[in-house]
Amino acid sequence: MSSDDDPTGNAEATVTAFERLGGEAKVRQLVDHFYDLMELEPAYAGLRALHPSTLEGSRDKLFWFLCGWLGGPSHYTDRFGHPRLRARHLPFSIGIAERDQWLHCMAQAMDELGIDPHLADRLAAAFFNTADWMRNR
Ligand code: HEM
């Protein structure tokens, strides 16, 4: 590592959530498990109903987005520019119930993949802020 990467001499300081999670392979696994649960679990039927009939496009977009959001490669913005995430969610009616289904589905996916609980807690807090900001009713 060069001194540019780590001016403090503390390797911990430069490790992104993306790296800590396990890079692209793990982000892909997380997104796939999240959408598998959304398809399977009756508790997330309301959330599933907001999505298109096939989830392939949704899987790719969330994967690309999360890579950058976690501090990894900017696949989403390379393709689509600024995420404008709140605007892109305006076509969908999102209240507390939809927000909480999204968050529970993601928490279950992280838990079942055995993601380090400390990291999962930090991510859950960040997901909460983003999901809450998406509410439009
Ligand atoms: C609050 C509850 C949420 C609901 C109900 C919801 C629902 C949806 C739906 C129905 C779509 C369209 C899927 C498609 O076009 O294939 C979508 C797209 C997307 N969502 Fe969410 N979402 C929520 C929260 C989040 C959060 C917290 C994130 C990120 C951390 C996120 C990231 C995305 C991304 C990146 C897209 C693709 C946008 C695009 O390029 O069109 N969503 N969401």
Q: Is 36 helix (H, G, I), strand (E, B) or coil?
A: helix
**Ligand 1 atom, smallest distance to 94 CA:** 5
**H helices present in 41-95, as ranges:** 45-50, 56-69, 75-80, 85-89
Angle between the N-to-C axes of helices 56-69 and 23-40, in degrees from 0 to 180, rounded to the nearest 10? 140
What are the pLDDT digits (tens) for 43-79? Answer: 999 999 999 999 999 999 999 999 999 999 999 999 9
More confident residue, 12 or 20: 20
Q: Which protein residue's CA is at the shortest distance from atom 9 of ligand 1?
A: 51
Contact 5, 28 (CB under 8 A): no
Taking the C-alpha atoms of residue 81 and residue 26, their distance in angstroms, rounded to an integer, is 24
pLDDT at 3: 43
Ligand 1 binding pocket includes 60 (Cβ within 6 Å)? no
Which two three-digit tokens encode residue 115?
């993601």
Give the pLDDT band (50/70/90) at residue 14.
confident
Residue 82 CB neighbours (<10 A): 8
Looking at per-residue confidence, does 7 or 128 come out higher? 128
Distance between CA atoms of 48 and 92, rounded to whole angstroms?
12
Threshold 0.85, pTM exceeds: yes
Whose structure tokens read 């709140």? 86
Residue 1 scores a pLDDT above 90: no
Nearest Cα neighbor of 41 from 93, 96, 92, 102 is 102
Q: What is the pLDDT of residues 89-121, one digit of tens each?
A: 999 999 999 999 999 999 999 999 999 999 999
Ligand 1, atom 35: closest residue by C-alpha: 62
pLDDT at 121: 98
Amino acid at 11: A
Cα–Cα distance measured from residue 104 to residue 44, given in angstroms and rounded to the nearest whole number: 9
The CB of 130 under 6 Å from ligand 1? The reply is yes
Residue with the smallest CA separation from ligand 1 atom 27 is 131
- Which amino acid residue places its CA nearest to atom 21 of ligand 1? 89
Q: Which atom of ligand 1 is nearest to the CA of 69?
A: 30
Tell me: pLDDT of 22 over 90: yes
